Structure 1
Amino acid sequence: MSLAPSTTQARTLRGRSGEQDAVRRLLDRARDGSGGALLLLGAPGTGRTALLDHAARLAGGFTVLRARGVPAESHLAFSGLHGLLRPVRDAPAQLPRAQAAVLRKALDLGVADGGLALAAAVLDLLSAMAARRPVLACVDDLHHLDAASREVLLFAARRLDGERVALLLASHDDRTAPGGIPSLVLGPLPAAASRELLGDLSPGLGEDLRAALERVAHGNPLALTELAGSLSPGQLAGTSPPPGSPPPGGRLWRAHTARLAGLTGEARHLLLLVAADPSLDTATLVRVAEHPDALLALEPAEGAGIVRAEGDRYAFAEPVMASVVYSGASLARRRAAHRLLADVLDQDHQRLRRAWHRAVALDGPAEELAAELAEAAEAAPPRSGHPEPFLALERAAELTGRGDLKAARLAAAARHASSSGHPRRARSLLARLSTLTVAEDMRGQAELLRGDLELLGGETGNAHDRFLAAAGWLLDRDRPLGVRALVRAAEASYTAGDNRGFLAIARRAAAVRRPDEGPAAELMFEYLAGVAATFRGRHTEAATPLHQVLRLAPAAHGPAMLVWAGAASLLLGQEANALMLATRAVDIARGRGGASALPQLLESVIQAEIWMGRYASVADNAVEGLRLAQETGQLNTAGHHLAWLALTAAVLGDEETCRVRATAALELADAHGLGVVGALGNWALAHLDLAAGRVADAAGRLRAQRRNGHVVVRVMATPIFIEAAARTGDREQAGSALRVLDRWVASTRSPDRLALAARCHALLAGPGEAEELFRHALDLHLRGTCEFETARTQLLYGSALRRDRRPGAAREHLHSALETFERFGARLWVGQARGELRAAGQTVRSTCATRPEQAAGPAARTGRAARSDKSEQLTAQQHQIARMVAEGATNREVAAQLFLSPRTVEHHLRNVFAKLGVRSRVELARLLS
């Protein structure tokens, strides 16, 4: 029997699976006679009521009681208890006469004698009811419940162990969290859950509008729901600006304005100033208020949990509240607040903020304000805080009357939005250029930016066409940008796996090249020439322009130039130099605050590290790259990092994770024309097949890729293909692949790559020739840096010696290989090495822990252990998993977000708990907060 209103259809609660599991466990314990209580704490709109409804739906066979705290009744003693027990008004008859009388007196008259009589009577009543069927009691808005009812219910909540009773309480005020009662905090929804919820509410919502709603809602599910429901036809069509706050009059708006209503006018004025400038420090706030005790007016707001002090400034405890405070003020009050702030922000480093407040307040002629704001935005240092330069430039464009100048400022705003990691906003700003008169050079710049955005998150074919169009507009107007557009078009062809397209662009570049090019343009022309010659297999010819790129690199001032120089280093076999250049590019981008560039720049670091066999570092950088790519809307870049993570999972022998990530990468590759991503995903799966002993499968994957796969990845995967083909008897194709590899390797003089070629020759050698080639390969490995490939050569050599009936000689190499594989945590290769040792007549025991992070090397492990902060002991992937779990994500949600299997997440989480010395998710959340 349920005595609560029922919902006929269950509703999916996005991002709350962990909380739903906690509610389910509470009900299961109550069914089994081990009941208890749970307190749900969360801001308005975070889903407390939805979870209570969910509990009621799950409580089949329970007696369900519901009550809600109401502010208008908070002064009426026992009004809350009356609401909870009124549906079972005859139940007190189950109690002894004295207890029944005490309970009826409280419910009928609102009075009770002192002591424990009433609280004990309520507890005994719930117990008596539960003797017939379990009981679920749900109390919403506990903070509004009258104090007498709250005291009685909390008394019962602490004494439900051994009863068939579940008491579920919900409050937005953590001051009501009593001791002895487990609590669960409902934080903001993860980004993925917010997107899913908006997809449920408005399936056809455009990406730009979706992103705007997510910015306003800050992960609050009710805010997302009400925002999606309030959209006008103009907002849905993109002709009207998106909403800047939850809809006035909605449930969330009313909840927040009710909390504000009890504050003084002075407190609300100070809150408006904080909402108008999130960077406002307390010293400046005091200057605006013009008397030293002004901040005392904010104490009630602090006490009510509306704002909290964070260092030298105030911040809203619930970000949505800031938009309610700001939008709820009249236009006149908002403009007055901005004028006050502009007057006190008089330091040089506050120039952008001052111009912003003047522009919003319309404190002067529009054109003058626009010029001041645009100039300040362009001169602002990286990570300058509020407002972001792209917002300032957008506002400047809105105040500009001249069409060409308005277009220039919109284009600049789009450029800043893209570089700061807001690609959707950049696209929206560029779309507004279509209605304006745009100069040819600016049209080319805009098209170049559109190409960049398309290459990061759209289709490579569209990006290629946009880059070529930009080059046509720019080559005669802005030479360096025009050449850059050509290089970017070539990179789009490279990403698509279109070798012919790349070569065609290289020929076009050679045709437009001039003898008096500047250093930057010269570097780009030499880069295209060198890569094109490499793709044609003319490695000797390629060396000259590639060396020219390295000669010009020291004068390069941008990360992109360093990346191209790093690529030239890799083609020349100079892995360490490539890593140095790529790392320098990443450092420059971090210093500039270029969030959008980092995921791509990390790819260049990873490419160098792959050749050096630094797989733990590859995984760390790819995890960071994947996170940043997801946060900045770069689907294609995310695909690259997924593919690299699939490869590192293959090295570690984590079959399930490798397949999950490779499949995700391949799906992106098919949808967006990412030939290089598809090739990397297939390479990862082939490596996994080879490690697992599925030699024919590995050969088949790479054989298909050799026919129409990406040229660079094809060469990188050649050693695996030759090994697999040789072991399956396809010596003809293996020999053909080796001839291609020999030509490139011979031109690089890299000992690691020469060692790989020597190993491949050994695999294809005739009787009596292999041993010398294996020894030569090992000698070359000693001069290189890739320990993992050294171990792979030792394994193959040892296996050959064992088959040649020389077990003693074989064991020496097999032991060395096993030790390296164990140190890297490469469990499938560990299994192969142990199998060979057993076949060579030796029983093998594990002597090294197979933990993936050990591949970082002794120096890195020592440095990590020396750090005092416990969280520094985690790998990048473990830290990301820990952070997501601490924010309330379940294992399945983490697995979906990071493209892992739930089993792998569980494995990592156990290691996190062990490293940090915690025993539960609650302790983890406390530690990381």
Structure 2
Amino acid sequence: MTGHTTARQRLTAELLDALRTDGGVRVVTGEPGCGRTTFLDHAARLFRAGPVRHLRADQAHELDDALRPATAAAPVLLCVDDAHLWDAPARATLARAAARIRGTGVRAALLVTVPDHRRVAPELADLPVLRLGPLTPAGAALLVRDAADEAVDPAVREELITAAEGNPALLLALVRRLSPAQLSGRRALPPSLVTGEVLAEVAGDRLPDDPGGLPLTTAAAARATGEEDADEELVLRACPSAIDGPLPDLLTRGEGRLRFRSTLMLRAVYATAPSAHRRAAHLALAEAATEPDELLPLLHRSWATTGPAPDVAASLTRAVTDPACTAPPALRRRALTRAADLTPDGAERARRHLAAAQQALLAGHTADALRLLERARGRSAPASVRGGAELLRGAVLLADGPVEDARESFLLAADLLPPPAAARATLAAADAAWSAGDPTACLSALAPTRTPPTLPLAEACVRVPRSGTPTAPGVPAVRRNPEPDGDPSRDHRDGLRAVLLARFDLAAAPLRRVVDHGLRGSDPDHLLRSAAAALMLGDVTSARRAGARALAAARTSGSAALEPRALEYLAYAELRAGRHQLARTHAEEGLRTAARAGQRNTAAHHHAVLALAASIEGEADLVAEHAEAALRTARRHGLAQAATLAHWAAARADLGAGRPREAAQRLGPLVLPGARRGHFAVWMLAVPCFVEATASAGRPQHAAAVVESFALWAACGADPQAPSQLLRCRALLAAPDTADELYRRALDRHDDAAGDFERARTELLYGKWLRRRRRLREARTRLEEARLGFERCGARLWAQQAADELRAGGAAPAAAPAASPGAGDLARLTPQQLRIARYVAGGATNREVALSLSVSTRTVDYHLRNVFATLGLRSRVELVRLVEQEEKTGARL
């Protein structure tokens, strides 16, 4: 049980810490199988402050005696498991003991466990509650590892984790059900992992005696929509006998919805009911619908049908594909899967499985999509269906798998699909090659004949040819004036090829058409293409706009798979625009949505953005954590772009901390020519850091050659920061008689691009240069501007560098503007410490803070200790009071 206990030990420790400060009582609840008893045992083992007493119902009268040791020096922990089984008088005694602990300051803690699938007893209803949520995927993976006698195949492990939905007892039951050969992947898994028998085992005797009635009808209605609640009016029309009766204990109602108190009980009630009762419930729901021809009633009617039913399958398919249908992707996937199950024709069944897989992927259900694709790939399926399956498989792998495998799937799809779809497949193959950092494969996919080019593309993006001909034989020519045929895929292909061939003069027109085409509509796919094209053009304003609109469109359409990608483009655009704090906000959200959608590759890119943002704010522990998280996936799946960004972030953190030699050592392999050079479209972004690091480390000669390559990149106009950065780089390497003018010109060019950080870096370097030449008055002006610029963008370590330079020049930094009364304490915290303080003051546990900020609990622990040390606090209660006080006085968090 190590996987389970490890996940809960931190939460238990936080709870015990909180019990010492806020009254010492918690009702620990959760659905059947969530591990309430295990949690209570952990708490007892971890409690070191005093004695621990476990009390049964027949020992309620001993509560007063149990509290007596609490009046002495050592507090006592009282543990009561399954308090719902106590009789009313015993629960009343328990409630009085809880009131005594909370109201009189008795040095005791009381933990009481009850299940949440039924109403809480009235005696305990007013006590503070701690609900045990589902296991995280990482915790579930550890539990599988510890429960299995031998190694578990990764694909099997993912199937088990998905099926269990975070319930520890259900997960263990599923592991026990499989043979060693099935666990290791040597034999196929059963058609359905979670059966009624397994759910009945976990639910125990908690299932209702009546296999039909309101609970089953509610479960059938919820199953159809995939939600955890159901329309109360519809359910009661389908089950009129329940209208005047009491609400079963398993259910609760609110805002016109009926909901099971426990998701596991919802699944168990449906799965354990006799099939005839389930069909009757679905038929009643279909007949109770006010619009019988809509998708949901048709789906209910299909579940009331047995055997092949081509007419019902066709009706479902027509309803899904009706342009007026507003159903979310998850419901469409369910309808198309059911339509396929009822389809006797093999080819048509494969088409419907493929369509269902596409909707599953849009809904963010990657495992479901892959299972459906396997059903659509049979030899009897038409070539177009097999090609569509490979196209979709490539999309899955591009988001969550080896990107070279994704490219091969796309190329196979291009061979099987007709021309319009084949063109989309080749463009997707280029996307995969781009992510892998393979420009040769990228160009090969984009070429009309897909012949491998011979261009030495390691230099392509920084070597502009002087003529209009290709730079090497074997590379098909770029169309100079593509016809205005309105095909964004063709324009994107032509623009991307031109960029790869370093023909930026030929890339602008087609890429601009892609940008404009996407922004004229609301299709999230087109908007994502628009954002990508805008980033290649260096039009960060359009990239931010397209990314934001793609995000809104994905949310409106319920496309969970597109949300993380939209946030990725938006975060990159914010970074390129010099708005790193906005980039951080979008990347934190993107990390959460990518985790929900099972997109580890997309998550790696968000980790890289967060590492870059943290490197500006000078938070070394966050840089290391996010960079390593990005690199873990990048190494496994071949993500050269994410890897390059992560290494750059780590080097920039070194530079901010005053370690230029270490920064230069990290960046050298990324930017200098050779096999280890970073991603072909990213490495030049790190050149300014490398030049600064080598110059500061006393080795400017190492950067001279790479500056000339960077000059070609800056001339392309693809990066608004590059012209000013180039002048700064030249100043760092220039002789004293020319460096002054170069620094001034660099500052002038910064006026053309947004963002305080890059300008402040130029001010800092110029100020250092002036101070070393004893031009102290000018140096102070520049260094003070640098310090203020860094403070405006939250770059604390960089601001400290400027302040240190000011002191070295004989001047103290100018005093910060006077803060409002009471605002001084929180102003001493770093941006991340402020965020954590805000969450903790709002009542969040360390685990909840970690989930909200997409960091580990260890990182939150580290920052919270520093918050307490910086502010001189001893408990969370004192932190809450301080935050409340400073909010009242107008302090800015």
- Asked if residue 481 in structure 1 is aligned to residue 418 in structure 2, the reply is no
SS of 1:494's partner is helix
Counterparts of residues 269-668 of structure 1 (less than 5 Å) = 270-271=217-218, 274-277=221-224, 280-290=230-240, 294-299=242-247, 301=248, 304=249, 306-347=250-291, 351-362=294-305, 366-379=309-322, 384=327, 388-474=331-417, 477=418, 479-507=419-447, 508=449, 522-543=487-508, 545-547=510-512, 549-550=514-515, 558-668=523-633
Shift of the alpha carbon at 1:143?
1.6
Distance 1:179-1:462 versus aligned 2 partners, 3 A rule: closer
SS of 1:308's partner is strand
CA deviation profile, 1:612-634 (whole Å, cap 9, x unmatched): 10001110111111111111111
Moved over 6 A (4+): 26-29, 59-64, 128-136, 160-166, 232-235, 380-383, 512-521, 873-885, 890-896, 907-920
CA distance in 1, matches of 2:654, 2:606: 20
Query: Which residue of structure 2 aligns with residue 219 of structure 1?
Result: 166
SS of 2:785's partner is helix
Query: Which residue of structure 1 aligns with residue 81 of structure 2?
Result: 140
- Asked if residue 228 in structure 1 is aligned to residue 172 in structure 2, the reply is no
Distance 1:791-1:899 versus aligned 2 partners, 3 A rule: farther
Shift of the alpha carbon at 1:216?
5.4
TM-score between the two structures when normalised by the length of structure 2 = 0.82
Amino acid at match of 1:225: L
SS of 1:315's partner is strand
Query: Which residue of structure 1 aligns with residue 696 of structure 2?
Result: 727
CA distance in 2, matches of 1:324, 1:596: 29
5+ residue gaps, structure 2, are 451-474, 824-830, 885-893
Q: Which moved more, 1:240-249 or 1:580-589?
A: 240-249
CA distance in 2, matches of 1:338, 1:181: 40
Shift of the alpha carbon at 1:524?
3.3
CA distance in 2, matches of 1:891, 1:729: 43
Q: Which moved more, 1:240-249 or 1:425-434?
A: 240-249
Amino acid at match of 1:646: A
Q: Is the 8 A contact 1:40 1:183 kept in 2?
A: yes
Shift of the alpha carbon at 1:563?
3.3
CA distance in 2, matches of 1:134, 1:842: 55
Structure (1 or 2) with the larger CA radius of gyration:
1
Query: Which residue of structure 2 aligns with residue 186 of structure 1?
Result: 132
SS of 1:296's partner is coil
Amino acid at match of 1:799: K
Query: Which residue of structure 2 aligns with residue 96 of structure 1?
Result: none
CA distance in 2, matches of 1:837, 1:129: 57
CA distance in 2, matches of 1:899, 1:150: 36
CA deviation profile, 1:427-456 (whole Å, cap 9, x unmatched): 111122344511112211111111111111
Shift of the alpha carbon at 1:490?
1.3
Shift of the alpha carbon at 1:466?
1.2
CA deviation profile, 1:171-203 (whole Å, cap 9, x unmatched): 235335548966533343344433433343347
Query: Which residue of structure 1 aligns with residue 459 of structure 2?
Result: none
- Asked if residue 174 in structure 1 is aligned to residue 124 in structure 2, the reply is no
SS of 1:13's partner is helix
Amino acid at match of 2:131: V
- Asked if residue 200 in structure 1 is aligned to residue 146 in structure 2, the reply is yes
Query: Which residue of structure 2 aligns with residue 13 of structure 1?
Result: 5
Distance 1:177-1:13 versus aligned 2 partners, 3 A rule: farther
CA distance in 1, matches of 2:760, 2:341: 63
Query: Which residue of structure 2 aligns with residue 75 of structure 1?
Result: none
Q: Is the 8 A contact 2:515 2:542 kept in 1?
A: no
Shift of the alpha carbon at 1:543?
4.0
Query: Which residue of structure 2 aligns with residue 839 of structure 1?
Result: 808
Shift of the alpha carbon at 1:810?
1.8
SS of 2:327's partner is coil
Distance 1:406-1:182 versus aligned 2 partners, 3 A rule: closer
Amino acid at match of 2:630: A
Match of 1:771 among 729, 735, 740: 740
SS of 1:693's partner is coil
Amino acid at match of 2:5: L
CA distance in 2, matches of 1:515, 1:537: 14
CA distance in 2, matches of 1:56, 1:874: 33
CA distance in 2, matches of 1:132, 1:840: 57
Distance 1:726-1:371 versus aligned 2 partners, 3 A rule: same
Q: Is the 8 A contact 2:28 2:131 kept in 1?
A: yes
SS of 1:314's partner is strand
SS of 1:229's partner is helix
Match of 1:670 among 632, 635, 639: 635
SS of 2:130's partner is strand
SS of 2:601's partner is helix
CA distance in 2, matches of 1:569, 1:907: 43
Amino acid at match of 1:413: A
CA distance in 1, matches of 2:840, 2:421: 43
RMSD, aligned CA: 4.2
Amino acid at match of 1:139: V
Q: Which moved more, 1:519-528 or 1:735-744?
A: 519-528
Distance 1:487-1:898 versus aligned 2 partners, 3 A rule: farther
Q: Is the 8 A contact 1:227 1:246 kept in 2?
A: no
SS of 1:219's partner is coil
CA distance in 2, matches of 1:38, 1:251: 28
Q: Is the 8 A contact 1:63 1:136 kept in 2?
A: yes
CA distance in 2, matches of 1:379, 1:209: 36
Identical counterparts, % of pairs: 33
Query: Which residue of structure 2 aligns with residue 252 of structure 1?
Result: 202
CA deviation profile, 1:827-853 (whole Å, cap 9, x unmatched): 111011111211232112551699xxx
SS of 2:746's partner is helix
Match of 2:797 among 828, 840, 857: 828
How many residue pairs align between the two structures?
827
CA distance in 1, matches of 2:509, 2:49: 81
Distance 1:67-1:903 versus aligned 2 partners, 3 A rule: closer
Query: Which residue of structure 1 aligns with residue 665 of structure 2?
Result: 700
Distance 1:346-1:495 versus aligned 2 partners, 3 A rule: same
CA deviation profile, 1:496-526 (whole Å, cap 9, x unmatched): 1112222333334586999999978854344
Q: Is the 8 A contact 1:822 1:849 kept in 2?
A: no
CA distance in 1, matches of 2:272, 2:323: 30
Q: Which moved more, 1:208-217 or 1:617-626?
A: 208-217
Query: Which residue of structure 2 aligns with residue 686 of structure 1?
Result: 651
Shift of the alpha carbon at 1:655?
0.6
Q: Which moved more, 1:505-514 or 1:777-786?
A: 505-514
Shift of the alpha carbon at 1:56?
5.2
Shift of the alpha carbon at 1:700?
1.8
Q: Is the 8 A contact 2:70 2:106 kept in 1?
A: no
SS of 1:297's partner is coil
CA distance in 2, matches of 1:599, 1:689: 29
